[in-house]
Structure 1
Amino acid sequence: MSDTVTATAAEFDLRARAIYDLGNSTIYASRSDPRFSYCTYVPPHIGSAGSRPMQLVVVMHGTGRAFTEYRDAFAEFAKWNDCIVLCPLFPAGPKGDGNRDGFKQLREGDIHYDEVLLDMVDEVATKFGCDFSKFALFGYSGGGQFVNRFGYLHPERLWALSVGAPGSVTLLDFSQDWWVGVRDFATRFGKPLNLDALKTLPVHMIVGKADIETWEITHKEGGKFFMPGANDAGKNRPERLGSLRKSFEAAGVKVKLDVVDNVPHNGMACVDKVQDFFAATLRTMRSTSAAS
């Protein structure tokens, strides 16, 4: 009788795993801070004989929090490239004030969004028995602001970085303070910016050529993020991303830039080129690993 019960329980666990964890997962609360959640896509063939070790791709939502849509958009890429996709949800107003933008700056009061994300990465790595000491990171719009800044704070944790159409950019500029530049980076974050690691990181930037509306991204005096130089990178997203690219390249960081014709502010219209960049980086990374 006990064997039957044990077998039934094991079968239940396998069936539940197949339904809720493999393919498009359900939504899980973060173990480190249940105010924040995530979903994943996990190729159903994970762990099968002859399959390659999984790599991780993290996709950061923007202000609209379309995290499941981004997960679904990366599912086929993940299946054919042996990757797990992790999409965090940082909801608006976790401190009860309705703030939609706190995550973009990495820190909001005592919330360290970069650390919440890193714990989600470790949680998913443990769940599926993977080594995610490095992962790829893409974000668009508000997510582009997050990944721009996360790339400065944790470049050693990334194997690729793709910055998509941020409304505001933090330039790799040591003559201006955060958030416009990085002069006070070490004081603010308690660690120096690891420029050597950033120089070895494959970096991609992408924006639609028609992404020229400015109503949401022009900083005005008295605004919560206004500071001297807040609008100096350019008047629209293509100009600001161009300034970000120039600041990277001036510091010795190579960047692949895609400006997509006939595309306004639409992240889903840009994911194909992001996936092409990640796939090319994966091929190089895996061939180098195999050769060594």
Structure 2
Amino acid sequence: MSTPEPDSEGANFIGGTPFFASRHDQRLFYALYVPKDHTPDAAPLPLVVIQHGTGRSAELYRDRWKNFAIEHRCVILTPLFPAGLVEPRELHSFKFLEYKGIRFDEELLHIVDEVGEGFNTETETFYLHGFSGGGQFAHRFFYAHPDRLAAVSIGAPGRITQLDDSLPWWLGTGGFEERFGIAIDMDALRRVPVQMIVGGDDVETWEINNPGGPNWMDGVEKTGGTRIERLETLRANFEANGIEVRFDVVPGIAHKGSEVIPVVQEFMADLLSRR
């Protein structure tokens, strides 16, 4: 008996997928890694979302998480929020959740729901990691939607938002509810496992100390001179609000998200094993 020919269309929906346009906003995209033996009639697999930074290295992250998906039985989702949306050469919009009417937090939730329908994943809650600009997005998304997160891993954000209503957005959470229509739920935040991670050699400051830049607010400098110091400030802020933090400084690593992946995966694997 001859072996059936592979389905030329279906083959693109398992393993490393192409980038798909979001049905809700076709300016935004996503790719996945789906274990090749996962079928529509199997139990849904947990979903791990890896949010890119300024460089939009979504494909790189999808491929670096392939073996993790296979070993730990999960689906990897890598959203892609292009640079230059609305305004040419604009780089930072997604990091702050909203830009020119685009709510990137809500758009991610639309993508997650779409993936749940098409790829047989769990979407009530999911695991989120972001590094650099992705780390900025991840901790602000955490403030808005802790109920949707099984865990959050915050990697080396250059600019932090503290849980402090006396500071204006985005240095703090002043006016958060008025801006986003969401009240911050501290009890829900305390229930989500949190990792903060940064390289031990992540000490260059040229990108994060840029007064007058489009992603600068006076007061940023008070949170620390390096990404390590700023993440330590964020940890202290979380702990002062009763949020437990696993804090990882990876020796010998500078500002490279791909090189902290093993420690992020250790955090995620432990949680997945205890589901």
Secondary structure class of the residue paired with 1:206? strand
For residues 170-229 of structure 1, give each alpha carbon's deviation from its aligned partner in whole angstroms, at most 9, with x where no partner exists: 112232111011122111111110111110000001000100000000141x33233331
* 1:149 paired residue number: 140
Structure 1 Cα separation of the partners of residues 119 and 6 of structure 2: 14
Instruction: Please say if residues 40 and 120 of structure 2, whose CA atoms lie closer than 8 Å, have aligned partners that are also in contact.
Output: no
Unaligned runs of 5+ in 2: none
Aligned mate of 1:27, from 19, 36, 44: 19
For residues 139-198 of structure 1, give each alpha carbon's deviation from its aligned partner in whole angstroms, at most 9, with x where no partner exists: 001111110110101110000100001111111223211101112211111111011111
**2:256 equivalent to 1:266:** yes
Structure 1 Cα separation of the partners of residues 232 and 177 of structure 2: 25
Structure 2 Cα separation of the partners of residues 279 and 163 of structure 1: 16
Structure 2 Cα separation of the partners of residues 224 and 58 of structure 1: 27
Shift of residue 97 of structure 1? 2.4
**2:241 equivalent to 1:257:** no
**2:30 equivalent to 1:38:** yes
Instruction: Please say if residues 78 and 85 of structure 1, whose CA atoms lie closer than 8 Å, have aligned partners that are also in contact.
Output: yes
Secondary structure class of the residue paired with 2:221? coil
TM-score, structure 2 length as denominator?
Answer: 0.95
Structure 1 Cα separation of the partners of residues 49 and 74 of structure 2: 10
Shift of residue 71 of structure 1? 0.4
Taking the TM superposition and a 5 Å limit, the aligned residue runs for 1:216-235 are: 216-220=207-211, 222-235=212-225
**2:228 equivalent to 1:238:** yes
User: RMSD across aligned C-alpha pairs, in angstroms?
Assistant: 1.6
Greater displacement, 233-242 / 222-231: 222-231
Secondary structure class of the residue paired with 1:232? helix
Unaligned runs of 5+ in 1: 1-10, 287-292
Amino acid at match of 1:43: P
Q: Say if 1:183 and 1:48 are closer, same or farther in 2 by CA, change over 3 A.
A: closer
Amino acid at match of 1:178: W
Indicate the structure (1 or 2) with the bigger Cα radius of gyration. 1
Taking the TM superposition and a 5 Å limit, the aligned residue runs for 1:147-226 are: 147-220=138-211, 222-226=212-216
Secondary structure class of the residue paired with 2:254? coil
**2:6 equivalent to 1:16:** no
Structure 1 Cα separation of the partners of residues 216 and 255 of structure 2: 23
Shift of residue 111 of structure 1? 0.6
How many pairs align?
Answer: 272
Greater displacement, 243-252 / 178-187: 178-187
Percent identity (aligned)? 44
Instruction: Please say if residues 158 and 208 of structure 2, whose CA atoms lie closer than 8 Å, have aligned partners that are also in contact.
Output: yes
Shift of residue 27 of structure 1? 1.1
Structure 2 Cα separation of the partners of residues 227 and 94 of structure 1: 22
Structure 2 Cα separation of the partners of residues 268 and 149 of structure 1: 21
Shift of residue 48 of structure 1? 8.3
Instruction: Please say if residues 38 and 86 of structure 1, whose CA atoms lie closer than 8 Å, have aligned partners that are also in contact.
Output: yes
